[in-house]
Amino acid sequence: MDRFRRFDEAYYQRFYEDPKTRVMSTDDHVALCEFVFAFVKFNQIEVKSLLDVGAGVAHWKYWLERHHPGVKYTGTEVSSAMCKKHGLQQKDIARWRDRKKHDLIVCQGVLQYLPDPDVAPAVANIAAMSKGLLYLEITTRQDLRENCDLERTDQDIFIRNGSYYRGILNKHFTNIGAGLWWTKERPGPFYELELAPSAK
């Protein structure tokens, strides 16, 4: 875990906790959680377990405790500080695979921190643990150019094109849009035109 030494308390304070510098507020994250679970409800997708890969300050954990306490939560992190503070498991997704499968997997802001040799194994591990739905966020080259607030966004990442990630993800998942993906191992409850194009 030495290669993840930079993910200390100061990192999370800057990008996730300090209102002056954080990239997303707690209210923003609540809206995201509500969106994903509204999608789950509308499509009648059963979610009894959630795996949060790179859980950080554990927004998903605390939101589930308030709104869906029956959902079994598993949170992983590379940061020993965050694991201790929020009760997470210290795991590297490129080198770890749970024996259990999960109804919903969340992977926010993780893959852009992995070097090239680790990205495909990480996605393969996520796919192997997925029963169905994946919510994914990755900062791409286009995002940094067009979408991100560069004063708040961590730019010390591997800057890649979206096509790079799509090429890896499309081997395992179908893109539903809005950050949501569905495992190719199971048929999904979606109509044809609800699915996003596989590539631009």
pLDDT tens column, 23-79: 888 899 999 999 999 999 999 999 999 999 999 999 999 999 999 999 999 999 999
Residue 76 DSSP SS3: strand
Query: Which CATH fold would you assign to the domain 2-185?
Result: Rossmann fold (3.40.50)
Q: Which residue has the tokens 């929020």?
A: 86
The pTM (predicted TM-score) of the whole model is 0.95
pLDDT at 199 (0 to 100): 44
Mean pLDDT of all residues in the chain?
95
Residue 179 has pLDDT above 50, yes or no: yes
pLDDT computed for residue 165 by the predictor: 98
Phi and psi of 191, rounded to 5°?
Answer: -80, 160
Strand partners, 64: none
